[in-house]
Protein backbone atom coordinates (compact mmCIF):
# COMPACT_ATOMS: atom_id res chain seq x y z
CA UNK A 1 0.00 0.00 0.00
CA UNK A 2 2.88 2.36 0.82
CA UNK A 3 4.38 1.74 -2.61
CA UNK A 4 1.02 2.47 -4.19
CA UNK A 5 0.66 5.80 -2.35
CA UNK A 6 4.23 6.78 -3.30
CA UNK A 7 3.48 6.08 -6.97
CA UNK A 8 0.33 8.21 -6.73
CA UNK A 9 2.34 11.14 -5.35
CA UNK A 10 4.94 10.81 -8.14
CA UNK A 11 2.21 10.71 -10.79
CA UNK A 12 0.48 13.65 -9.14
CA UNK A 13 3.62 15.75 -9.49
CA UNK A 14 4.04 14.69 -13.12
CA UNK A 15 0.38 15.37 -14.02
CA UNK A 16 0.39 18.73 -12.24
CA UNK A 17 3.62 19.84 -13.94
CA UNK A 18 2.43 18.92 -17.44
CA UNK A 19 -1.03 20.42 -16.84
CA UNK A 20 0.36 23.68 -15.44
CA UNK A 21 2.91 24.12 -18.22
CA UNK A 22 0.38 23.38 -20.97
CA UNK A 23 -2.17 25.73 -19.39
CA UNK A 24 0.44 28.47 -19.04
CA UNK A 25 1.56 27.94 -22.64
CA UNK A 26 -2.00 28.10 -23.94
CA UNK A 27 -3.06 31.18 -21.97
CA UNK A 28 0.19 33.15 -21.92
CA UNK A 29 0.44 35.83 -19.25
CA UNK A 30 -2.87 35.59 -17.46
CA UNK A 31 -2.83 39.10 -16.01
CA UNK A 32 -2.03 40.64 -19.41
CA UNK A 33 -4.91 38.70 -20.96
CA UNK A 34 -7.37 39.84 -18.32
CA UNK A 35 -6.31 43.50 -18.25
CA UNK A 36 -5.93 43.93 -21.99
CA UNK A 37 -3.18 45.20 -24.27
CA UNK A 38 -3.01 48.69 -22.78
CA UNK A 39 -2.36 47.71 -19.15
CA UNK A 40 0.82 49.06 -17.56
CA UNK A 41 3.47 46.81 -16.04
CA UNK A 42 2.60 47.73 -12.45
CA UNK A 43 -1.04 46.66 -12.90
CA UNK A 44 0.03 43.42 -14.56
CA UNK A 45 2.48 42.65 -11.74
CA UNK A 46 -0.13 43.47 -9.08
CA UNK A 47 -2.74 41.20 -10.67
CA UNK A 48 -0.20 38.39 -11.09
CA UNK A 49 0.59 38.67 -7.38
CA UNK A 50 -3.13 38.62 -6.51
CA UNK A 51 -3.83 35.57 -8.70
CA UNK A 52 -0.74 33.73 -7.45
CA UNK A 53 0.75 33.48 -10.93
CA UNK A 54 4.17 34.58 -12.14
CA UNK A 55 5.73 35.58 -15.42
CA UNK A 56 8.17 32.68 -14.94
CA UNK A 57 6.09 29.48 -15.31
CA UNK A 58 8.50 27.40 -13.21
CA UNK A 59 8.31 29.87 -10.32
CA UNK A 60 4.53 29.95 -10.72
CA UNK A 61 4.35 26.15 -10.67
CA UNK A 62 6.43 25.85 -7.50
CA UNK A 63 4.27 28.49 -5.81
CA UNK A 64 1.12 26.74 -6.97
CA UNK A 65 2.24 23.33 -5.65
CA UNK A 66 3.21 24.79 -2.28
CA UNK A 67 -0.19 26.45 -1.93
CA UNK A 68 -2.02 23.31 -3.14
CA UNK A 69 -0.50 21.03 -0.49
CA UNK A 70 -1.09 23.72 2.16
CA UNK A 71 -4.76 23.86 1.02
CA UNK A 72 -4.32 27.54 0.18
CA UNK A 73 -5.68 27.38 -3.35
CA UNK A 74 -5.97 31.11 -3.91
CA UNK A 75 -8.60 32.90 -6.00
CA UNK A 76 -10.06 32.58 -9.47
CA UNK A 77 -10.03 35.40 -12.01
CA UNK A 78 -13.26 36.81 -10.54
CA UNK A 79 -11.79 37.07 -7.06
CA UNK A 80 -13.70 34.12 -5.54
CA UNK A 81 -11.83 31.73 -3.29
CA UNK A 82 -11.19 28.47 -5.17
CA UNK A 83 -11.76 26.39 -2.05
CA UNK A 84 -15.28 27.82 -1.63
CA UNK A 85 -16.02 27.20 -5.32
CA UNK A 86 -14.93 23.56 -5.03
CA UNK A 87 -16.89 22.98 -1.83
CA UNK A 88 -20.06 24.56 -3.21
CA UNK A 89 -19.99 22.48 -6.38
CA UNK A 90 -18.57 19.21 -5.05
CA UNK A 91 -21.93 18.00 -3.70
CA UNK A 92 -23.53 18.23 -7.17
CA UNK A 93 -20.83 16.12 -8.82
CA UNK A 94 -20.83 13.66 -5.92
CA UNK A 95 -24.60 13.23 -6.13
CA UNK A 96 -24.41 12.68 -9.88
CA UNK A 97 -21.64 10.12 -9.43
CA UNK A 98 -23.25 8.16 -6.58
CA UNK A 99 -26.68 7.97 -8.24
CA UNK A 100 -25.07 6.95 -11.54
CA UNK A 101 -22.97 4.32 -9.80
CA UNK A 102 -26.00 2.79 -8.06
CA UNK A 103 -28.00 2.70 -11.28
CA UNK A 104 -25.01 1.23 -13.14
CA UNK A 105 -24.85 -1.62 -10.60
CA UNK A 106 -28.55 -2.41 -11.09
CA UNK A 107 -28.37 -2.27 -14.90
CA UNK A 108 -25.14 -4.29 -15.18
CA UNK A 109 -26.21 -7.02 -12.73
CA UNK A 110 -29.57 -7.50 -14.44
CA UNK A 111 -28.04 -7.55 -17.93
CA UNK A 112 -25.17 -9.88 -16.99
CA UNK A 113 -27.16 -12.40 -14.94
CA UNK A 114 -30.01 -12.46 -17.46
CA UNK A 115 -27.56 -12.89 -20.34
CA UNK A 116 -25.78 -15.83 -18.70
CA UNK A 117 -29.00 -17.51 -17.56
CA UNK A 118 -30.50 -17.17 -21.06
CA UNK A 119 -27.30 -17.47 -23.07
CA UNK A 120 -27.90 -17.19 -26.80
CA UNK A 121 -31.52 -16.12 -26.39
CA UNK A 122 -32.98 -12.98 -27.91
CA UNK A 123 -32.55 -10.95 -24.71
CA UNK A 124 -28.90 -11.97 -24.46
CA UNK A 125 -28.09 -11.03 -28.06
CA UNK A 126 -30.11 -7.80 -27.88
CA UNK A 127 -28.38 -6.84 -24.64
CA UNK A 128 -24.94 -7.40 -26.18
CA UNK A 129 -25.77 -5.30 -29.23
CA UNK A 130 -27.30 -2.53 -27.12
CA UNK A 131 -24.31 -2.39 -24.76
CA UNK A 132 -21.89 -2.15 -27.69
CA UNK A 133 -23.92 0.65 -29.30
CA UNK A 134 -24.23 2.62 -26.05
CA UNK A 135 -20.55 2.22 -25.18
CA UNK A 136 -19.55 3.35 -28.69
CA UNK A 137 -21.54 6.57 -28.51
CA UNK A 138 -19.78 9.76 -27.34
CA UNK A 139 -21.14 10.85 -23.97
CA UNK A 140 -22.39 14.21 -25.26
CA UNK A 141 -24.30 12.49 -28.09
CA UNK A 142 -25.90 10.00 -25.70
CA UNK A 143 -26.96 12.92 -23.47
CA UNK A 144 -28.50 14.78 -26.40
CA UNK A 145 -30.34 11.63 -27.56
CA UNK A 146 -31.81 11.17 -24.10
CA UNK A 147 -33.02 14.79 -24.10
CA UNK A 148 -34.72 14.22 -27.46
CA UNK A 149 -36.16 10.77 -26.72
CA UNK A 150 -37.24 11.18 -23.10
CA UNK A 151 -39.80 13.98 -23.00
CA UNK A 152 -41.46 15.45 -19.95
CA UNK A 153 -38.30 15.64 -17.86
CA UNK A 154 -36.14 18.73 -17.24
CA UNK A 155 -33.20 18.84 -19.63
CA UNK A 156 -31.14 21.28 -17.59
CA UNK A 157 -30.70 23.01 -14.29
CA UNK A 158 -30.33 21.79 -10.74
CA UNK A 159 -32.57 21.90 -7.65
CA UNK A 160 -30.88 21.20 -4.28
CA UNK A 161 -32.23 18.40 -2.11
CA UNK A 162 -32.83 20.94 0.67
CA UNK A 163 -35.31 22.78 -1.58
CA UNK A 164 -37.23 19.81 -3.01
CA UNK A 165 -36.23 16.15 -3.10
CA UNK A 166 -38.69 15.27 -5.86
CA UNK A 167 -37.56 18.15 -8.09
CA UNK A 168 -33.93 17.28 -7.38
CA UNK A 169 -34.49 13.71 -8.62
CA UNK A 170 -36.46 14.92 -11.67
CA UNK A 171 -33.64 17.23 -12.71
CA UNK A 172 -30.98 14.58 -12.04
CA UNK A 173 -32.72 11.69 -13.83
CA UNK A 174 -31.47 12.39 -17.36
CA UNK A 175 -27.84 13.14 -16.34
CA UNK A 176 -27.80 10.01 -14.18
CA UNK A 177 -29.25 7.92 -16.99
CA UNK A 178 -26.67 9.23 -19.44
CA UNK A 179 -23.74 8.49 -17.12
CA UNK A 180 -25.01 5.13 -15.85
CA UNK A 181 -25.89 3.74 -19.28
CA UNK A 182 -22.40 4.49 -20.53
CA UNK A 183 -20.70 2.70 -17.63
CA UNK A 184 -23.19 -0.14 -17.17
CA UNK A 185 -22.60 -1.19 -20.78
CA UNK A 186 -18.95 -1.97 -20.00
CA UNK A 187 -19.66 -3.30 -16.50
CA UNK A 188 -22.23 -5.79 -17.78
CA UNK A 189 -19.84 -7.07 -20.46
CA UNK A 190 -17.05 -7.62 -17.92
CA UNK A 191 -19.33 -9.38 -15.44
CA UNK A 192 -20.96 -11.52 -18.12
CA UNK A 193 -17.60 -12.71 -19.45
CA UNK A 194 -16.45 -13.44 -15.90
CA UNK A 195 -19.63 -15.41 -15.18
CA UNK A 196 -19.27 -17.43 -18.37
CA UNK A 197 -15.64 -18.19 -17.58
CA UNK A 198 -16.57 -19.32 -14.07
CA UNK A 199 -19.45 -21.42 -15.39
CA UNK A 200 -16.95 -23.73 -17.13
CA UNK A 201 -15.28 -24.70 -13.83
CA UNK A 202 -15.65 -28.31 -12.55
CA UNK A 203 -17.49 -27.34 -9.37
CA UNK A 204 -20.32 -25.91 -11.48
CA UNK A 205 -20.74 -29.30 -13.15
CA UNK A 206 -20.99 -30.82 -9.68
CA UNK A 207 -23.71 -28.32 -8.72
CA UNK A 208 -25.67 -29.20 -11.86
CA UNK A 209 -25.34 -32.92 -11.02
CA UNK A 210 -26.80 -32.21 -7.58
CA UNK A 211 -29.94 -30.88 -9.27
CA UNK A 212 -29.59 -27.16 -8.72
CA UNK A 213 -31.47 -24.95 -11.14
CA UNK A 214 -29.68 -22.68 -13.56
CA UNK A 215 -30.91 -19.53 -11.80
CA UNK A 216 -29.62 -20.72 -8.40
CA UNK A 217 -26.28 -21.75 -9.90
CA UNK A 218 -25.78 -18.28 -11.37
CA UNK A 219 -26.89 -16.33 -8.29
CA UNK A 220 -25.60 -18.60 -5.50
CA UNK A 221 -22.64 -20.50 -6.95
CA UNK A 222 -20.74 -18.61 -9.66
CA UNK A 223 -21.67 -14.96 -8.94
CA UNK A 224 -19.32 -14.35 -6.01
CA UNK A 225 -16.19 -15.91 -7.63
CA UNK A 226 -16.92 -13.78 -10.71
CA UNK A 227 -17.01 -10.48 -8.81
CA UNK A 228 -13.29 -9.47 -8.48
CA UNK A 229 -12.85 -8.03 -12.01
CA UNK A 230 -16.32 -6.48 -11.79
CA UNK A 231 -15.58 -4.85 -8.43
CA UNK A 232 -12.25 -3.56 -9.73
CA UNK A 233 -13.92 -1.90 -12.71
CA UNK A 234 -16.79 -0.64 -10.54
CA UNK A 235 -14.39 1.07 -8.13
CA UNK A 236 -12.50 2.66 -11.01
CA UNK A 237 -15.80 3.78 -12.51
CA UNK A 238 -16.33 6.03 -9.48
CA UNK A 239 -13.19 8.00 -10.28
CA UNK A 240 -13.99 7.97 -13.99
CA UNK A 241 -17.47 9.37 -13.34
CA UNK A 242 -16.09 12.13 -11.12
CA UNK A 243 -13.35 13.06 -13.59
CA UNK A 244 -15.57 12.66 -16.65
CA UNK A 245 -18.42 14.79 -15.36
CA UNK A 246 -17.45 17.81 -17.47
CA UNK A 247 -19.39 16.76 -20.57
CA UNK A 248 -22.55 15.63 -18.77
CA UNK A 249 -22.67 18.67 -16.49
CA UNK A 250 -22.12 21.01 -19.42
CA UNK A 251 -24.91 19.43 -21.51
CA UNK A 252 -27.42 19.42 -18.63
CA UNK A 253 -26.25 22.73 -17.09
CA UNK A 254 -25.39 21.22 -13.70
CA UNK A 255 -23.33 23.45 -11.37
CA UNK A 256 -20.71 20.83 -10.53
CA UNK A 257 -16.94 20.47 -10.69
CA UNK A 258 -17.02 19.36 -14.33
CA UNK A 259 -18.81 22.46 -15.58
CA UNK A 260 -16.56 24.56 -13.35
CA UNK A 261 -13.53 23.09 -15.10
CA UNK A 262 -15.00 23.90 -18.52
CA UNK A 263 -15.64 27.51 -17.52
CA UNK A 264 -12.12 27.77 -16.04
CA UNK A 265 -10.59 26.50 -19.28
CA UNK A 266 -12.64 28.90 -21.39
CA UNK A 267 -11.69 31.88 -19.21
CA UNK A 268 -8.01 30.83 -19.13
CA UNK A 269 -8.07 30.54 -15.36
CA UNK A 270 -4.85 28.54 -14.92
CA UNK A 271 -4.94 28.21 -11.14
CA UNK A 272 -8.53 27.00 -11.00
CA UNK A 273 -8.19 24.65 -13.98
CA UNK A 274 -5.02 22.95 -12.73
CA UNK A 275 -6.43 22.65 -9.21
CA UNK A 276 -9.45 20.81 -10.61
CA UNK A 277 -7.23 18.58 -12.76
CA UNK A 278 -5.28 17.56 -9.66
CA UNK A 279 -8.48 16.90 -7.73
CA UNK A 280 -9.82 14.74 -10.56
CA UNK A 281 -6.54 12.84 -10.59
CA UNK A 282 -6.84 12.24 -6.84
CA UNK A 283 -10.39 10.94 -7.31
CA UNK A 284 -9.19 8.47 -9.95
CA UNK A 285 -6.21 7.39 -7.80
CA UNK A 286 -8.42 6.92 -4.76
CA UNK A 287 -10.86 4.76 -6.72
CA UNK A 288 -7.94 2.69 -8.04
CA UNK A 289 -6.70 2.02 -4.50
CA UNK A 290 -10.25 1.11 -3.42
CA UNK A 291 -10.52 -1.31 -6.36
CA UNK A 292 -7.37 -3.13 -5.23
CA UNK A 293 -8.75 -3.42 -1.69
CA UNK A 294 -12.12 -4.65 -3.00
CA UNK A 295 -10.46 -7.28 -5.18
CA UNK A 296 -8.35 -8.56 -2.29
CA UNK A 297 -11.47 -8.84 -0.11
CA UNK A 298 -13.51 -10.60 -2.79
CA UNK A 299 -10.70 -12.98 -3.81
CA UNK A 300 -8.45 -14.27 -0.98
CA UNK A 301 -5.98 -15.57 -3.59
CA UNK A 302 -4.95 -11.98 -4.35
CA UNK A 303 -4.08 -11.38 -0.68
CA UNK A 304 -1.91 -14.51 -0.65
CA UNK A 305 -0.11 -13.42 -3.83
CA UNK A 306 0.61 -9.96 -2.32
CA UNK A 307 2.24 -11.61 0.70
What tens digit of pLDDT does each residue of 56-66 get? 778 878 888 88
Q: Say if residue 99's pLDDT is above 90.
A: yes
* Alpha helical stretches, state H, the chain: 2-27, 30-35, 41-51, 57-69, 82-117, 122-136, 139-149, 165-199, 202-209, 214-216, 227-243, 245-251, 257-266, 270-298, 300-306
Q: Given this model, what pLDDT does residue 194 score?
A: 84
- Buried b vs exposed e over 162-190: b needs ≥16 C-beta within 10 Å? eeeeeebeebbbbbbbbbbbbbbbbbbbb
Q: Say if residue 220's pLDDT is above 70.
A: no
Q: How does residue 122 score in pLDDT terms, banded at 50, 70 and 90?
A: confident
Q: Which of 224, 233, 188, 189 is nearest to 204 (CA)?
A: 224
Per-residue pLDDT of 156-174, as tens digits, reads: 889 988 888 989 999 999 9
Per-residue pLDDT of 238-276, as tens digits, reads: 888 888 888 899 999 899 999 999 988 887 788 888 899
Q: How does residue 299 score in pLDDT terms, banded at 50, 70 and 90?
A: low
Distance of CA 280 to the CA centre of its chain: 8
Element containing residue 213 per DSSP (H, E): none
Distance of CA 82 to the CA centre of its chain: 21
Q: Percentage of the chain with pLDDT > 70?
A: 80
Give 227's contacts (C-beta < 8 A, 6+ positions apart): 191, 194, 298
- Of 79-83, 178-182, 282-286, 289-293, the poorest mean pLDDT is in 289-293
3-state secondary structure of 299: coil
Say what the alpha-carbon torsion angle 135, 137, 138, 143 is, to the nearest 10 degrees: -100
Q: Given this model, what pLDDT does residue 302 score?
A: 58
Distance CA 62, CA 18 (A): 13
Radius of gyration of the chain (CA): 24
Domains of the chain (ranges; CATH) run 2-69 (no CATH), 91-306 (1.10.3720.10)
Q: Given this model, what pLDDT does residue 304 score?
A: 52
Q: Given this model, what pLDDT does residue 305 score?
A: 52
Per-residue pLDDT of 46-55, as tens digits, reads: 766 666 565 6
What value does the mean pLDDT of the chain take?
Answer: 80
Q: Say if residue 294's pLDDT is above 80.
A: no
Say what the alpha-carbon torsion angle 41, 46, 47, 53 is, to the nearest 10 degrees: 100
The answer to whether 252 and 143 are in contact (CB under 8 A) is yes
Query: CA 114 → CA 121, 243, 279, distances in Å?
Result: 10, 31, 38
Distance CA 292, CA 273 (A): 29
pTM: 0.81
Distance CA 72, CA 30 (A): 19
Q: What own/partner pairs with CB < 8 Å and gap ≥ 24 does 293-298 have? A: 294/228, 294/231, 294/232, 294/234, 294/235, 295/228, 295/229, 295/231, 295/232, 298/224, 298/227, 298/228, 298/231
Per-residue pLDDT of 185-212, as tens digits, reads: 888 888 888 888 877 777 777 766 766 6
The answer to whether 31 and 51 are in contact (CB under 8 A) is yes
Amino acid sequence: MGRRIASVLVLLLAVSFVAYMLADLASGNQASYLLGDYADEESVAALNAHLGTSENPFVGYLSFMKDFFLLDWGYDVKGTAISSLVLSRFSVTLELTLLSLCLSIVFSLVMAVTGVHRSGAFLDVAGDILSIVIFSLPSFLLSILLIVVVSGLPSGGFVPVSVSLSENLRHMLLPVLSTSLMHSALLSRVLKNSLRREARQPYVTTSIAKGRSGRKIVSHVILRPSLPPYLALLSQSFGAMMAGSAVTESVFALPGLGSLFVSAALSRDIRLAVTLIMLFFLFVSFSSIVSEIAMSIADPRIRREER
